[in-house]
Amino acid sequence: MRGRTARAAGIRPHMVKHSAAEREGISPRLLVSPAEERRAVTEGLLEGRTALVVGVANKRSIAWAIARRLDAAGARCALTFQGERTQRDVERLAGELGRPAPTMTLEVTDDGQADAAVAKAAQELGGIDILVHAVAFALAEDLGGRYVDTSLEGFRTALEISSYSLTALARRVEPHMRERGGGAIVTLSYLAAQRAVPGYNVMGVAKSALESMVRYLAWDLGEAGIRVNAVSAGPVRTLAARGIPGFTEMAEAAAGRSPLRREITAEEVADAALFLVSPLASAITGHVLYVDAGFHAMGL
Ligand code: NAD
């Protein structure tokens, strides 16, 4: 990228380093890191917007990468934490964001907490334009082994927390988004929604329901200008991922068989989430966007 193109992309002269050869005018080259470059091109993209981010547990959480990305693009974020266990970590992380970020407790199975969390976020941020849903849970005994052995309790737990919570939160943010003339919701899925991934079991079933909900919610909320999409992420080493038996082998195998032949990062998932909630995706809704180094495109 050079000259006018670099300026249009928000790349400033101090971000561009020239080698000795370049200084001699041979071949100007952009040497900023990919992360710096991505931040520069999206600066101000979400200026004046507000986002409720659900699913930050620690610095490895995909939701944390998304919160950082939205914050860097100009949005003000509110972060929820799941009970006292993660409160301190989430409050500390919130303090690292560039803009003041209120925090609030949210156990998604508790209607009262869901009402209170959305109301507090709307009040403290002055409205809600964006909802990030990055929540998943299944009983340990239902991950690994055979799907056929899933208990009704295990099924209810996985689907209530990992799928239904999107519907429950979408219903609560809808009036706030309507007040702002529209909004955007993004959730996190995985390829096991579409294919059988041994061991992922009831979480795969929950992700299928989640992706279906994205389509139904897109229809219901579309007339209010509210868009609903999902990012289907390849394996990322997070707390939730550690609960999946054989996760490391799965991640390595996926990396080896992906067109890009590598694992993906939480930051790359966050970039896609930023795109989907931004005006750049204004005609995109009901969509599942794969961020998996191309793994989903492969047959073998
Ligand atoms: P994570 O453990 O950092 O995040 C999961 C979050 O869910 C945590 O913040 C946890 O507090 C929250 N949560 C669980 N049960 C809850 C409940 N009852 N009430 C409120 N919050 C609850 O792990 P992550 O990998 O960042 O997961 C975020 C999302 O990304 C999940 O939907 C996950 O399925 C999805 N995802 C992850 C991967 C991966 O490889 N890590 C790949 C594809 C999709």
What is residue 60's predicted lDDT score, i.e. its pLDDT? 97
Residue 195 clears pLDDT 70, i.e. is over it: yes
Residues with a catalytic annotation lie at: 190, 200
The closest residue, in CA terms, to atom 15 on ligand 1 is: 137
What is residue 236's predicted lDDT score, i.e. its pLDDT? 96
Residue 179 clears pLDDT 90, i.e. is over it: yes
**Rounded CA separation 287/228 (Å):** 8
Per-residue pLDDT, averaged over 164-193, amounts to 98
Residue 241 CB–ligand 1 contact under 6 Å: yes
Ligand 1 centroid to Cα of residue 240, in Å, is 5
The predicted model scores a pTM of 0.91
What would the pLDDT profile of 99-124 be if each residue is shown by its tens digit? 999 999 999 999 999 999 999 999 99
Residue 83 clears pLDDT 70, i.e. is over it: yes
Pocket mutation for ligand 1, best pick of 238, 250, 292 (most atoms within 8 Å of C-beta): 238
What would the pLDDT profile of 283-292 be if each residue is shown by its tens digit? 999 999 999 9
Residue 79 CB–ligand 1 contact under 6 Å: no
Residue 236 CB–ligand 1 contact under 6 Å: yes
Per-residue pLDDT, averaged over 209-234, amounts to 99
Residue 188 CB–ligand 1 contact under 6 Å: yes
State the CB neighbour count (10 A cutoff) for residue 94.
Answer: 21
What would the pLDDT profile of 131-170 be if each residue is shown by its tens digit? 999 999 999 999 999 999 999 999 999 999 999 999 999 9
The closest residue, in CA terms, to atom 28 on ligand 1 is: 134
**Rounded CA separation 208/220 (Å):** 19
Confidence of residue 30 (pLDDT cuts 50, 70, 90): low
Q: What is the DSSP string of 97-117?
A: SSS---EEE--TT-HHHHHHH
Residue 2 clears pLDDT 60, i.e. is over it: no
Residue 17 clears pLDDT 60, i.e. is over it: no
Ligand 1 centroid to Cα of residue 19, in Å, is 43
The domain limits of the chain are 49-297
Atom of ligand 1 nearest to the CA of 56: 9
Residue 169 CB–ligand 1 contact under 6 Å: no
| Mean of per-residue pLDDT scores for the chain | 91
Residue 298 clears pLDDT 50, i.e. is over it: yes
State the CB neighbour count (10 A cutoff) for residue 299.
Answer: 4
Confidence of residue 35 (pLDDT cuts 50, 70, 90): confident
What is residue 31's predicted lDDT score, i.e. its pLDDT? 64
**Rounded CA separation 189/226 (Å):** 19
What is residue 164's predicted lDDT score, i.e. its pLDDT? 98
Ligand 1 centroid to Cα of residue 25, in Å, is 49
Q: Is residue 55 a contact partner of residue 78, using CB atoms and an 8 Å limit?
A: no
Residue 164 CB–ligand 1 contact under 6 Å: no
φ, ψ of residue 154 in degrees (nearest 5)? -65, -40
Residue 56 CB–ligand 1 contact under 6 Å: yes
Q: For residue 153, how many C-alpha atoms fall within 13 Å in the half-sphere facing its CB?
A: 3
Does the structural domain 49-297 have CATH classification 3.40.720.10?
Answer: no
Ligand 1 centroid to Cα of residue 24, in Å, is 50
Pocket mutation for ligand 1, best pick of 132, 137, 187, 197 (most atoms within 8 Å of C-beta): 137
φ, ψ of residue 256 in degrees (nearest 5)? -65, -30
Residue 185 clears pLDDT 50, i.e. is over it: yes
Residue 9 clears pLDDT 50, i.e. is over it: no
